[in-house]
Structure 1
């Protein structure tokens, strides 16, 4: 199923993307929150590999099955905070971008929950997962193989 294997990827490419991930992970945005955004964007993009990965990361972080199974219909459920709703709406809008600026009704609610630095990082989270989704759709890494591997310190 794989078109391009991990060993075929040019040296430094994933490492450079990891530098961006590290920047996001060192921001003031909560990791569980960013994983939720990554899972939703991956669902919207139909990226099976990334859906599997971020689902597993969220389970590891203690996310509930109810919220995980309802993320695809988040607008119709009471399980997500106003902060999460504002970010999910923004993520969906930024993922399905067109030539027009992001509408004020999708940006302004962010200001109730995030400062401008955090909005920049949220934007980076969304654009970064869109990059990963598109890369995985070209490579066709096999979904289901992702394993959480945490170093014991």
Structure 2
């Protein structure tokens, strides 16, 4: 990672070759979605999935991609509500391939194309805005396993 890596309140899971970056306010379900993705990977619903980081991660741009790594003090730790902080396998970094925004104000039933993209510093990534009270896992699995229709 670069020395200028920014620390953000988010979780990330590497699914296949790219990470899903999960953002949202405290209590939105970032850790829960991270664990659900790991379980979906174990069940074969999506490619194998492993934790990058939970609660706080570092972002950096490298080679025209946005990369995510765990905060060193939290590496390999995942909060599981009802059980507490648990140790689990993790990877030290991954390029981000999808951003999920939980409790997003711009979530819609049929979102406009610009709501499904994130752009910053010349990097564009697919984005899923998830509304409050809506289960994010089916949306993420659909994004990872289907293609857009015309």
TM-score, length-normalised on structure 2? 0.28
More strand by share: 2
Of Structure 1 and Structure 2, the greater helix share is in 1
